[in-house]
Amino acid sequence: MALLITDECIACDACREECPNEAIEENDPIYIIDPDRCTECVGHFDEPQCIAVCPVDCIISDPDNVENIEELKFKYEKLQEEE
């Protein structure tokens, strides 16, 4: 599933550059993840890079965007076609 940034976000900017899919954007007051671009890092890394760097652990699975591994791989392949 795509991931979600909660209100705990302190807008530190650590995650944005780490995202291989350019799915994270600065927003006011917290950062946001585009569910159409977040593959949970499937296709790039073994674990979500944003969660690994977030200093306040405010990135969670998005209950409204539940996807299985096949769907995440499909999304990854679609994003590759865009480039």
Distances in Å between the Cα of 75 and the Cα atoms of 10, 22, 33 are 29, 13, 15
Helix (H) / strand (E) element for 24: namely strand 24-25
SS3 73: helix
As measured in angstroms, the least distance from the Cβ of 19 to ligand SF4 is 3
Dig out the tokens for 53 from the structure: 């760097």
Q: Does 69 bind ligand SF4 (CB under 6 A)?
A: no
Q: Does 31 bind ligand SF4 (CB under 6 A)?
A: yes
Q: Does 72 bind ligand SF4 (CB under 6 A)?
A: no
Number of residues that bind ligand SF4 (CB under 6 A): 28
As measured in angstroms, the least distance from the Cβ of 22 to ligand SF4 is 8
